[in-house]
Amino acid sequence: MEGAHKATDDPARCVDSCRDEILAEFESALLTTGNAVFAASQARRQALLTAQYVLEDVAATLRAGKVQVSNRHKLHAREVGNARAAEGVHPAASLEAGSLFFRTAVNHLARRMAVEFDEPAEVLALAVTGMEESLSRRVRDASESYNGFLLNQVHQAQEDERRRIARELHDRIGHGISVAHQQLALSEVYHATDPARALAKIAVVQQAVQEIMENLRQITSELHPATPAGDLEKSLLSFLETVEDDDVCVGLDVNGDESWADPASIGEAFLIVREAARNALTHAGAASVFIRVDIAPHALIASVQDDGRGFDPATAREQGGVGLASMRERAALLGGRVVISSTPRGGCLVEVFIPLKRQNGGPDGG
């Protein structure tokens, strides 16, 4: 940046001189836009602290002449993610807050640098690069912490539910079975000496069994899922949970109304997409896999894309790949098709098209 200085040899002074103005305007912008971060007291304090840390990173970047991000960002970002999840602040509000801060800081720094430097563009470009890197790392780490917090809550809820079911089985089912077993044993004792009393014990057993059956029906009805078994998005999420791999980033996006598709189409689409995703996760050596499903009144369109090692589809077909053939056959039975695009070391894209019949009561239904 030689020759760019006008009034100082320390470009970081630009950050220090307008730090308070940036933070004040940022807080005002959160209030004016009605951002949820401002409404949650802890989130607001953390947002302002994050802004201070980012400005410190920008100052350090300008002093060093290259991007500098403090190592302490990870711990703070984790705290932010946990707090946002606990307060119910959606990540979209956090991203909006980050964008507000970025625009505010850049505007202030640009005006200040235009005054203090003969050639401010180079200094501003370095400052913006440092700011973007500092913000993006914090957003990424906070998002991971946010998701981890919610996953822990889900896990805790599952544990609580397991304990509740264990209590119900012990108290309502176990007790009834114990009573039935005891009365059966007594009926055997009285069978030869007091047949009438033995029959009375059998009657108690019958009543106990009926109570057990009723209690069992109640428990199983409580466990019955509230959502339809054919829910494609939930089915795919459940599958992805069973094959979770920390080394692979997996994305899922399901759009549209599943009621536009008949259960058979939903079921076959799930099996096709699951097979494609399983292949990507198991064989591709991919760093990322993205699954997208779009459901419209006329068609279900899905894709599974990975950035893995890829392959030659023609060779795979000649070698008789059962999984690929199965996907094509399932789609063909519904009048659809599967298209597989891949090259060695070029990743793979599996595209699925299934035409949908008009459902009764739909836009064009009878």
Neighbours of 51 (CB within 10 A): 23
What is the number of alpha carbons within 13 Å of residue 130 lying toward its C-beta?
Answer: 29
Look at the domain 13-154 and name its fold: Globin-like (1.10.490)
Residue that has been written with the tokens 């998701």 in this structure = 147
| Mean pLDDT, rounded, of the chain | 81
Question: What is the model's pLDDT at position 141?
Answer: 85
Contacts of 185 (CB under 8 A, 6+ apart): none
Q: Which stretches of the chain are assigned E, i.e. beta strand? A: 249-256, 288-295, 299-306, 337-342, 348-355
- Check if CATH label 3.30.565.10 holds for domain 232-355: yes
pLDDT of residue 252: 87
Q: Is a pLDDT exceeding 70 seen at residue 323?
A: no
More confident of the two residues 55 and 9: 55
Residue for token pair 């189409």:
265
Comparing 364 with 195, the larger pLDDT belongs to 195
- pTM attached to this predicted model: 0.48
Query: Average of pLDDT values for 295-315?
Result: 83
Whether the pLDDT of residue 225 is over 60: the answer is: no
The residue among 311 and 127 whose pLDDT is bigger is 127
Indicate whether 318 pLDDT > 50.
Answer: no
Q: What span, in angstroms and rounded, lies between the C-alpha atoms of 13 and 343? A: 52
> Is pLDDT above 60 for 217?
yes
The yes-or-no verdict on residue 364 having pLDDT over 50 is no
Res 192: pLDDT: 87
pLDDT at 277: 87
Beta strands at 249-256 and 288-295: parallel, antiparallel or unpaired: parallel
Report the percent of the chain where pLDDT is more than 90.
11
> pLDDT of 177-204, one tens digit each?
887 888 888 888 888 898 888 888 888 8
